[in-house]
Structure 1
Amino acid sequence: MAAAVLPPLTAAAPAAAVTLPALSIPGDPRGAGLTRFTGQAVAPRPVAVPPVPQHPFMAANGSSNVHGDAYQSDTYEGPGPTGRELAVRSRLQGGLCGSVTFDSRGRIVTVCMTPGHSPRLMLLDPNDLAAVSSLTLPGKAGSSLTEVSGGGYFYLDQLDRAVVPTKDGTLQVVAVRRDALVPQARYDLRPVIGSSGIVSVLPDWSGRMWFVTGSGVVGVLDPATGAVSTHVLHGETIANSIAVDESGGVFVVSDHALYRFDFDAPAGGRPVVTWRAAYDRGSRHKPGQLGQGSGTTPTLIGPASGPGGGYVAITDNADPRMKVLVMERGKAGPEKVCEQPVFAPGRGADENSLVAVGGDLVVENNYGYVVEDHALLKGMAGGRQVDTEPGLARVHVDYTTRTCSLAWSDSVERVPSVVSKVSLATGLLYTFTHPSADELRSAHRTGTAAMPDAWYLTALDVRTGERVWSRLVGSGPLFNDHYAPVTLGRDGSAYVGVVGGLVRITDS
């Protein structure tokens, strides 16, 4: 079947650049008394690991999608903030600007989503967050803040073109041309996906666009011909992005199993299941998860030319303890390397991707994050904090003995929902923490019953797990990152999408 090629949309911004200054996100005034910085600035301590291969049809590693590269490693070769006189700037957008990518000039390309409104593709200045250009995407977001379809997962290609799943069941290709967003193509996938939302899209190593939907459709589009073919995972749903490698493998996790897909040209050009690995999906939908199943996008480790065709890792949703699972990813089949239980029994959940540091993996605990959208925001606005279970851990994998162990485990930091990242240049793990009211009250030695809802960019030594520093980013519900990632820019700045828009944290 061929996707209908629709006429492109019209850009909202004129051809000439009109840079609109950014208004700051308003915070809770009770946050004025909070300590802004704890810890100390540090000198970079680089971590040496093999590089992730550069995908030929995606922007440079670290610039292309929410997880940074085709392997979904969530690591950056470049620097992040070191903690030196950290400055915070914000952009009030009226919607969460989650996935942050960078064009070849280092400018931000992001999709901002507001419940009940049409998502907007934005071109922003990376320094002051001013709007350079914007484009309204088709369709409207629903009332749920937990929707990921419609632009939550998009990618920037090697030609500075954003490939965005839209709310009306299409794929929109928009080029960054000088200071404007210029629509190039629009592919209608509704004949093959129906009303299901497109969760994510990524290209394989041949340039074909692979997409997945919430209802379990895995499809591939040839942008040269418009040909589309699909495979349906009956009775399974998909809520996360996908990963791709240089062997042609496309890795998908549903709420029941991890899959490797490959493109079968001799069979008429269609996606085929190379292997399927069921995992323990647990007995319940845990607080902090979007569904009953793995909350992680597959993370790839090592080149496809290596042993076992390289490796792939996810978390399961097992009870009483969630586990990190590591498997071979080659075409021969998903032989398990090892598994490692993490976090306290009955109190562990991860709705964000693992971070690959060489062959090791960093996992975070999101258990207890309340995702009942408006109740969440109204509750926080009224002073009720959403306290989650603390926890971060680094899992060491010995690929010779095929065993897993805990390199370190933290039981202090509360990480409600952020996609944490690692800078190999600084040796720091960057996460977005949310202390409990009791922790804030103790830290500031106050008997005040109502404490502000406070959000911090926190850096940990990735080698030891020890906190290095923590910087207050903002207080109040508009500074909740709500499943958005930390993203590191070329100049070492950290960006975090929040409910109110976007924030930038950088060394002065």
Structure 2
Amino acid sequence: MLKRSLGLVLAAATLGMTALPAAADGIQLPAVPIPGDVRGTGLEPFLGQPATPHPIAAPDIPQNPFMAPNGSSNLHDDAYQTDAYRGSGPDGKDLAVSSRLQGGLCGSITFDSQGRLVSVCMAPGLSPKLVLLNPHTLATIDTMTLPGKASASFTDVSGGGYFYLDNHNRAVIPTKDGGISVVAIEGDKLVKQLHYDLSAVAGSSGILSALPDWSGRLWFVTGNGVVGTLDMATGAVATHTLGGERIANSLAVDESGGVFIVSDHALYRFDAGPGGEVQVTWRMEYDRGTGQKPGQLSQGSGTTPTLIGSASGPEGGYVAITDNADPKMNVVVVARGKAGPTEVCKQPIFAAGEGADENSLVAVGGDLIAENNYGYKLDEHPLLKGILGGRQPDTTPGVVRVHVDYAHRACSVAWTNTTERVPSVVSKAALGNGLFYTYTHPTASELDYKPGGGLLGAPDAWYLTALDLCTGKRVWSKLAGTGPLYNNHYAPIVIGKDKTAYTGAVGGMVRIADSDD
């Protein structure tokens, strides 16, 4: 009976993975909720207590003039890739959860000038969808099919996994055909304005990510190690190839013209030459370890570079990544100015032989927070495993805040949380209320059941979890959903101006918000 019930639930979800119809003019199509695992009814839906806000002061991040306002432009929040919001997220007061079943994982989520959700949803073997959604109901306002089709891999994020909103309320999106599309948001419509064919330089690996520098020049990277620029006015393209190196993450840009990229061998600063050439300003090799660890997408750093401090400050500001060293990985902080990558400090994190981080470091002022993704793997057939009552693999717990003393060029561990298991989410800090938001997956033995619950065994349970930014201790956890369709699979948490939190999931998108007082 259990298997039959789960089968019906997940069969409905599979139907939802097909293309959904677009909304007619002026009509919003209601969101269909993501089906869950019936075994989740025995779980405690909320653990902990609502937070008392404790704002944290931090310098403002410079605004890239060619991107939408900080906090709304791309999955890492700003051009510095800080993953930190100036405002607040949900405090945990009578939290309400809703979801949207979608034809694919809605990874990057951004906010247009009206606060509506703009996301690219991707599923293996299907064409990605650009969606414009109501932020309160997750209803469809408009959809657009993007060029090309996704590969069969659940971990291929090229061609839409990363995109950004520009200063004209347009989505700039790498596409599966090796191009870059510019789509305007005009009223309630998505309107394609431009498409640049870069297939000749993108190759079979496709364009992974693209961001503009402070002059408006578009920089892009491909999985097979091509770093390029596109003049969006003339269509002129310049490239540089990293021989034998691969790129698995996005890039960061600063106001001095610096573009920061990490390959599976080295951290780079690029600048544009006088004629628009792609120039390597400096290159710093890091310890890439002896192999690809479970939870990582490549052998090497799993982090998009995070920038700290203004480019006009000491040493031109700083840039941080994690390496892949054995037996312990490190947070590595270096000066990022044109003079060269002088190391500030290196801090070992997580237990020996049990550390892997496939997500960008979160910047809290000058400090950095890392999460442990060691052991994460999405099964090739997650829906089938869910039908049979199975769970996704358990991962090694760990979240750590590293304090950086820039004056004395030293790092230390400010706090470590050794209980929260964070399989793969891009976690976020909300400085307005002093909370760190992550997406956790407890083991079966760690789940809390209501009296009499859990008779059918433990489901996959996924929680939005808030930690205190000052101590690392859990403040609260809210059950987001149960079953494989609620697995976020490398999608980020994003936070709207109204404090609502969203995350992509294998089944679509999840929304969690404080209920109205």
Partner in structure 2 of residue 357 of structure 1 = 364
State how far apart, in whole Å, the 1-side matches of 2:129 and 2:122 are. 7
Candidates 271, 274, 277, aligned match of 1:270: 277
Distance in 2, matches of 1:15 and 1:379, equals 37
Contact in 1 for aligned 2:23/2:29 (Cα 8 Å): no
Residue 340 of structure 2, aligned match among 312, 333, 338 = 333
For structure 2, list consecutive stretches of 5 or more residues without a partner in the other structure.
1-20
Change (3 A) 1:507 1:442: closer
Matched residue, 1:7: none
Secondary structure of residue in 1 paired with 2:481? strand
| 1:31 match | 40
The corresponding residue for 2:176 is 167
Unaligned runs of 5+ in 1: 1-11
**1:381 positional shift:** 4.3
Normalising by structure 1, we get a TM-score of 0.95
Equivalent residue, structure 2, for 1:394: 401
Note if 1:125 corresponds to 2:134: yes
Match of 1:154 among 156, 163, 169: 163
Residue 297 of structure 2: SS of its match in structure 1? coil
**Alignment of 1:176 onto 2:182:** no
Which whole-Å deviations, capped at 9, do the CAs of 1:35-72 have from their partners, x for residues lacking one? 00011112211000001011100001000001000000
* Aligned counterpart, 1:378: 384
2-structure distance, mates of 1:421, 1:253: 21
Q: 1:471 aligns with which of 466, 471, 478?
A: 478
Q: Does 1:99 align with 2:105?
A: no
The answer on whether the counterparts of 2:321 and 2:332 sit within 8 Å (CA) in structure 1 is: yes
Contact in 1 for aligned 2:43/2:454 (Cα 8 Å): no
The residue that corresponds to 2:18 in the other structure is: none
SS at match of 1:400: coil
Within 5 Å, which residues of 2 pair with 1:447-462? 448=455, 450-462=457-469
Map 1:72-471 → 2, pairs under 5 A: 72-265=81-274, 268-371=275-378, 373-382=379-388, 383-440=390-447, 448=455, 450-471=457-478
Whether the 8 Å CA contact 2:427–2:493 is kept in 1: the answer is yes
Question: Do 2:39 and 2:456's aligned partners in 1 also have CA atoms closer than 8 Å?
Answer: no
Asked if 1 retains the 8 angstrom alpha-carbon contact of 2:41 and 2:453, the reply is no
Deviation, structure 1 residue 442: 8.0
Q: CA deviation at 1:122?
A: 0.4
Determine if contact 1:256/1:281 at 8 Å carries over to the other structure: yes
Kept in 2, the 8 Å contact 1:154–1:163? The answer is yes
C-alpha displacement of 1:196? 2.5
Q: Which amino acid aligns with 1:208?
A: R
Mapped contact 2:56–2:434 kept (Cα < 8 A)? yes
CA contact (8 A) 1:13 1:133 kept: yes
Partner SS for 2:141? strand
- Contact between 1:308 and 1:329, CA under 8 Å: does it hold in 2? yes
Q: 1:244 to 1:445 in 2, by over 3 A?
A: farther
Secondary structure of the residue aligned to 1:194 is helix
Percent of paired sites with the same residue: 66
CA contact (8 A) 2:392 2:484 kept: no
Distance apart, 1:94 and its partner CA: 2.8
Aligned with 1:481 (options 467, 488, 491): 488
Determine the C-alpha separation between the residues in 1 that align with 2:184 and 2:435: 33
Contact 1:385–1:436 (CA<8 Å) still a contact in 2? no
Cα deviations across residues 149-206 of structure 1 (Å, max 9, x unaligned)?
0100000001100000000001000000000001010000012223221000000000
Matches for 1:40-79 after TM superposition, within 5 Å: 40-79=49-88
Q: 2:140, 2:456 → 1: CA distance?
A: 40
Partner of 2:380: helix, strand, or coil?
helix
C-alpha distance after superposition, 1:22-47 (max 9, x if no partner): 00000000001100001111221100
Q: State the shift of 1:445 in Å.
A: 8.3
Amino acid at match of 2:327: P
CA drift at 1:506? 0.2
- Kept in 2, the 8 Å contact 1:112–1:121? The answer is yes
- Cα deviations by residue, 1:355-407 (Å, 9 ceiling, x for unpaired): 00000000000000014x42444334432331000000000000011000000
SS at match of 1:379: helix
Give the Cα–Cα distance (whole angstroms) in 2 for the partners of residues 203 and 332 of structure 1: 23
Q: Secondary structure in 2 aligned to 1:132?
A: strand
Report the residue type matching 1:379 in the other structure: K
Q: Contact 2:181 / 2:192 at 8 angstroms: preserved in 1? A: yes
Contact 1:150 1:167 in 2 (8 A): yes
Q: Which moved more, 1:374-383 or 1:83-92?
A: 374-383
Please state how far the C-alpha of 1:443 moved relative to its aligned partner: 8.7
Give the letter aligned to residue 149 of structure 2: K
Work out the CA distance in 1 between the residues paired with 2:213 and 2:24: 32
Alignment size in residue pairs: 494
Quote the Cα distance in structure 1 between the aligned partners of 2:183 and 2:216: 16
